[in-house]
Amino acid sequence: MPTRGGSARYEGLGKEGKGWTSTQSKALDEQPYGFGTRFGDEPGTNPEELIAAAHASCFTMALSFALAGAGYSDGTLETSARVTVDKDGDGFTITSSKLDLTAKVPGIAPDEFERIAQDAKANCPVSKVLNAEVTLTHKLES
């Protein structure tokens, strides 16, 4: 399996500092981040937003492959993730990642979908790496 990479640069220190983050693929290339993008409304990204996107992407792909492995060949999966950061002493801790899924999988029974979705949630690599509560809500459309 390949190793994927990302990088960050931060100039200045603390709240006044400014950062830039990039991914190996250059999907993000010098994307700005800093205190204002993380805890305020300044344009740019932040680590929690990137984790949320990674978690939603990982889970959705894991579920797609699990459904295909169960014999389903058609469907649409849309997942959002909301990562929560809470104050923890002098620092902060990511305390949860909440996945919200809307799915359309023709012919699947709700109980089978629930079993497959919960397994994908528990076993996608990003769920495994997060040391936080990982929850999943979903809506199966007919």
What is the DSSP code string of 83-119? EEEEEETTEEEEEEEEEEEEEE-TT--HHHHHHHHHH
Look up the pTM and report it: 0.89
Q: Looking at residues 64-77, what average pLDDT do you find?
A: 97
Per-position b or e across 60-77, b if 16+ CB within 10 A of its CB? bbbbbebbeeeebeebeb
Question: Which structure tokens are listed for 121?
Answer: 């949630």
pLDDT score recorded for residue 142:
84
pLDDT band of residue 132 (cuts 50, 70, 90) is confident
Torsion of CA 38, 43, 44, 48, to 10 degrees: 30
| pLDDT greater than 80 at residue 131 | no
